[in-house]
Amino acid sequence: MARKPIINTVAQNVLEYGTGAINIDGCRVPGAIEGDPTRFAKTDGGVFVKFDNAPTVRAEGRWPANFIHDGSEEATDLLGSAARFFYCPKASKRDRDEGCEGLEEREAPKNGSGLGRECSLQRRLNETGDDAIRLHNHHPTVKPTDLMRYLCRLVTPPSGIVLDPFMGSGSTGKAAVLEGFDFIGIEREEEYCKIAELRINNPHKFW
């Protein structure tokens, strides 16, 4: 998330301009302790000897969620344990296609090399030996619904309106509706508008 720098504090900005607040409590990430929770108390003579008590986790969760990643091998190799971060996997085929089952499957264009999606989507080889992924929702960049729900909840006031000027296949709209917000989307490509409409109005979205 990025926003224009504020002049004073968030509270002063909200009071003067009516904007800038974020929903911290609604977006806290549950804490977790890996392994033996009494390990620190048991350590004798090691680097943890200064800890007298076992670590605890705040019941309300933690803030800020200072890093969000997609769970890819590259990310976990670089960062180690995912427990410290807000983990959100890439959009699955089900997430992408939900509501669009009546559309003809088409080959999804690659975004750059397309390597980033190979772990999360079903694929088959075409005659050239390249990945030929066929999907009902063929938009090249689809954000995961869980991530967009988190971000909508973070910055939108109760009963607020979410505006997406580059709607694409409607991931933000789908997330906004699931969170109980109104949504306005703008998209240049008519074919993606149709996909977005189907995903946002999907009758199974409240299951």
Chain-centroid distance, C-alpha 72: 14
Confidence (pLDDT) at 106:
78
C-alpha distance from residue 11 to each of 22, 25, 34 (Å): 10, 16, 36
Confidence (pLDDT) at 37:
52
Confidence (pLDDT) at 4:
80
CA nearest 188: which of 139, 146, 155, 151? 139
**DSSP symbol at 4:** P
Q: Is 125 helix (H, G, I), strand (E, B) or coil?
A: strand
Distance CA 149, CA 87 (A): 13
Confidence (pLDDT) at 121:
44
The 10 Å Cβ neighbour count of residue 15 is 11
Distance CA 197, CA 28 (A): 30
Side-chain-facing half-sphere of 161: CA atoms under 13 Å: 4
Q: Is 27 helix (H, G, I), strand (E, B) or coil?
A: helix
Confidence (pLDDT) at 76:
65
- In order, the DSSP letters of 31-77 are P---S-TTHHHH--SSTTTT--S-----TT-BS----EE---HHHHH
Per-residue pLDDT of the chain (207 residues; tens, 9 = 90+): 677 888 888 889 889 988 888 898 888 877 665 555 555 555 555 555 445 555 566 777 777 656 676 666 666 676 665 555 555 667 888 888 888 888 878 776 665 555 444 434 444 444 444 555 678 888 888 899 988 999 999 999 889 999 999 999 999 999 999 999 999 999 999 999 999 999 999 855 554
Q: CA angle, corner 145, sides to 139 and 147, nearest 5?
A: 115
Given a contact cutoff of 8 angstroms between Cβ atoms, the answer to whether 29 and 86 are in contact is yes
